[in-house]
Amino acid sequence: MSPMIDRISDHTLNETPRILSIAGTDPTGGAGIQADLKSIAANGGYGMAVVSALVAQNTLGVRSVHIPPVAFLRQQLSAVSDDVTIDAVKIGMLADLDVINEVRSWLDVCRPPIVVLDPVMVATSGDRLLDPSAEQALRDLIPLVDLVTPNVPELAVLLAEPPAADWAEAVAQGRRLSARAGVTVLVKGGHFDDTDCPDALVNTQGLLAHSVVEFTAPRIITKNTHGTGCSLSSAMATVQARTGDWAQSLAEVKDWLQDALTYADDLEVGRGNGPIHHFHRLFSEASAASAVPADPAPFSSTLWRDVELIRLQIFDLPFITDLSSGALAEEDFSYYLAQDALYLATYARVLAHASELAPTVSAQRFLADSAARCRDVESELHRSWLRQQPDPDEAGPVTTGYVDHLLATSEAGNYAVLLAALLPCFWLYSDVGDRLHAEFLSRTEEEAHPYAAWLETYSDEEFAAATRQAIALTDDVAATVSESECAAMRQAFTTSARFELDFFDAPRQLVKA
């Protein structure tokens, strides 16, 4: 086991992780250290900052860069690490060879538990930002970090290859960089013009359940993307310090980043490419709180509001629209059901464990009955659909990520958080079933629907009643736990909801791959 892996495994996860950003500045607040601090705070961390470069820039572009003496950089780093326990480090702009070497020397001595490197090497215009000797020093720094988050041009520079022409080539380059440097690579698809925006965690060293774990989301159409790379990498450092699981961290961060991009236009900052809205969720909650009546809505209302964007995205997926119309390809539906069968086996186990943790007899009975329903009724439906197909024996990356999230939450042993993690499989499925079944009923009898049996199963009253009971149990337990546990419940619920979205989209991603 490498020293880097040793220090990660020995690290104690922190509910409010202390995150250090080493990066340049942005006076307009959209990128660099200013964006990092916002991103860290928005994702539940305590942010600290060491300035590597002073940058005169705005939303229209960079005007000049001043690099303070490297001795002052050394003093900043020492001042922080001599006093504060650092849970994770995000490294951004390292403007020249001396700065890179100084940060490397500090890493050798300090050995933070988690290090995320955003290799700032290529400007949006395509201009190279480092001289050749500094580029090589940055390549040599990569084996000392845990996650590197290059954009497509930077990934090419790190490998000394031409930029990838498409997503598949970018992932292949991520594999080569991971194999060469022994690091996890976050490959980002933002530079391509596809309707979706994929991201993939790539590791060839066996540190992930699969060598490639991919997540995708609809591309948000906005010019206000300034600082997205900075924000993503600092958010990953923050969430990883809480979860200890890169796949779970990316699921959470991608969900948050989608919101930040969706509402970026609301900020109206600058005349060029403005910043993302780091604190959209906080502002939305504050606005909602001001309108809360004396008798506040149940906790579940907050959960449902948290995943509003995810719910909208689900109904925009080609899988769902084609399922509704009956035009969905049989092989896509078969793949979905095969993965669902694998998922349900674990889901039933986790439900059974939740039953063991439940504080009341009625909750124990409901969760145990739900586990049995997964094993029996729903499994029988899958067997009937898949009777002409080979038994599913390999979980896809989304299935693996989802079950790993549920198992990790189950093993943690917090009943409230586990219940929140289990709830989206009830609630989102019920929502989808209700809507699709309503559309199905609006068809004439002459219009045969190939997936009627599935729609009937997820829209029947028994499943709707089970969903209502799962929601009620969640509200009951939320009223008895601390604020920090409620926050953990919301995070677990949102993570599972994001996996539900990706699960519905997995057949299409398989075809694209």
**Active-site residue set:** 188, 225, 227-230
The three-class DSSP label of residue 453 is: helix
How far apart are the C-alpha atoms of 144 and 470, rounded to whole Å? Answer: 45
For helices 152-159 and 167-181, angle between their N-to-C axes, nearest 10 degrees: 40
Angle ∠(120,122,128) on CA atoms, nearest 5: 120
Q: Is 183 left (phi over 0), alpha (psi -120 to 50) or beta?
A: beta
How far apart are the C-alpha atoms of 509 and 445, rounded to whole Å? Answer: 33
Strands 184-188 and 199-202: antiparallel
What are 270's two structure tokens? 């600058």
| Half-sphere exposure for 317 (CA within 13 Å, toward CB) | 25
Strands 88-91 and 18-24: parallel
C-alpha distances (whole Å) from 279 to each of 260, 286, 300, 489 are 7, 11, 22, 20
Listed in sequence order, the residues at least 6 apart from 382 whose beta carbon sits closer than 8 Å to its beta carbon are 337, 338, 340, 341, 344
How far apart are the C-alpha atoms of 260 and 275, rounded to whole Å? Answer: 9
- What does 366-428 look like in DSSP terms, one character per residue? HHHHHHHHIIIIIHHHHHHHSTTSPPP----HHHHHHHHHHHHHHHHT-HHHHHHHHHHHHHH
E-assigned strand segments in 27-181: 46-58, 61-66, 88-91, 115-117, 147-148
